[in-house]
Amino acid sequence: MKKILTFWHLLAGLLLGFGLGLAISWIIAPLELTDAPPSLLRTDFKDGYRALIASAYASTGDLERAEERLATLNDPDIITALENQTNRTSTNEDSPESLETLNALVIALKGESPAKQITNTPTPFYTQTPQLPTKTGTPATPTITFTPEAATATLTPIPINTRTPRATTEASLTPSTPYILATQDELCSTNISEGLLMVYVSDASKKAVPGAEIIVEWDGKEEHFFTGLKPELGNGYADFAMEANKSYALRLAAGSVAVSGLGAPPCQDDDGNHYWGSIRLRFEQP
């Protein structure tokens, strides 16, 4: 009889403990999931995050926004951290564009001079304009002139009152291959934050492209954001939080067709509750 009572006491204790555990975890102190802050990133990921911030500043010139983003890394001294990364970048012979944007951001933060604008210098092209002499003309010594923007070779005969046919050939730069919209989907999932514009960018070999600048416009406003700021979701991923009942237009700064009429789609869960879904866009190089 004593053994039977002990068994029921043990079973009652297990059930009571199980019930208390469920009450605490579901009602009293439920688990809250939050995104990890950038300050918890590894050192190499922090370097990549700073490089993307410098690239964004070089594009927008918004120094205050860059300072806010750098502050999320919780560095003791923001300028010292940037200077140390600049030294590491020059030692490792990384991309010169990345080194230049980091230096420009350091200069702007110190307030020494405005940040240097980063531009691509086009390759000089050549224009040749020959002037053909006629039977009655006297050929003259050709004159050759070179300028930084273009090199021009001109053959100029001196005969008077003669017809002079002209032929001009110009070679210009070929623009980089733009991106195309590969797919566009509406997503209804309670596991995704409401009203997100989810953008994925990849090159022609299907490889994710970090640091791609994306421009979104709505109601006369404009916002720039970049891929690669959430490496846990992919180097070619970026997202933007939409407001309900707003229409947005989105395009890639490197070149793409603008996708307009974007808005959070209405969704409904299994219990009949309404919420706002998300839109997924995939851009690729052809």
Residues 229 and 280 in one domain: yes
**Residue 230 domain-assigned?**
yes
User: Which two three-digit tokens encode residue 120?
Assistant: 């691509």
Report how far apart, in Å, the C-alpha atoms of 54 and of each of 45, 48, 63, 99 are: 14, 10, 10, 9
Q: Provide DSSP, 7-27.
A: HHHHHHHHHHHHHHHHHIIII
Residues 91 and 50 in one domain: yes
**Residue 196 domain-assigned?**
yes
Give the separation between CA 279 and CA 246, rounded to whole angstroms.
13
Instruction: State yes or no: pLDDT of 278 exceeds 70.
Output: yes
**Residue 25 domain-assigned?**
no
**Residue 4 domain-assigned?**
no
**Residue 14 domain-assigned?**
no
Residues 221 and 277 in one domain: yes
pLDDT value for 246: 93
pLDDT value for 218: 95
Q: Assign 34 a pLDDT band (cuts: 50, 70, 90).
A: low
pLDDT value for 94: 57
pLDDT value for 33: 66
**Residue 271 domain-assigned?**
yes
* CATH number for the domain that contains residue 245: 2.60.40.10
For helices 63-71 and 96-110, the axis angle rounded to 10 degrees is 100
**Cα Rg of the chain, angstroms:** 31
Residues 247 and 277 in one domain: yes
Number of domains forming the structure of the chain: 3
**Residue 280 domain-assigned?**
yes
Q: Assign 220 a pLDDT band (cuts: 50, 70, 90).
A: very high
* Global pTM value: 0.43
Q: What is the pLDDT of residues 161-219, one digit of tens each?
A: 444 444 443 433 334 568 999 999 999 988 887 889 999 999 999 999 999 999 999 99
Spatial strand order of the sheet with 259-262 comes to 221-226, 213-218, 248-252, 259-262
Q: What is the pLDDT of residues 247-263, one digit of tens each?
A: 999 999 988 889 999 99
Of 86, 110, 134, which residue constitutes the final position of a domain? Answer: 110
Instruction: Identify the weakest region by mean pLDDT among 56-70, 92-106, 163-177, 255-269.
Output: 163-177
Residues 224 and 277 in one domain: yes
Structural domain including 160 reads 125-170
Mean pLDDT over 231-246 rounds to 92
Residues 80 and 130 in one domain: no
φ/ψ of residue 68, rounded to 5: -65, -40
Give 182: exposed, middle or buried? Use CB within 10 Å, 0-12, 13-18, 19+.
middle
**Residue 57 domain-assigned?**
yes
- Mean pLDDT for the chain overall: 78
Residue with the bigger pLDDT between 4 and 129: it is 4
Instruction: State yes or no: pLDDT of 157 exceeds 60.
Output: no
Residues 279 and 186 in one domain: yes
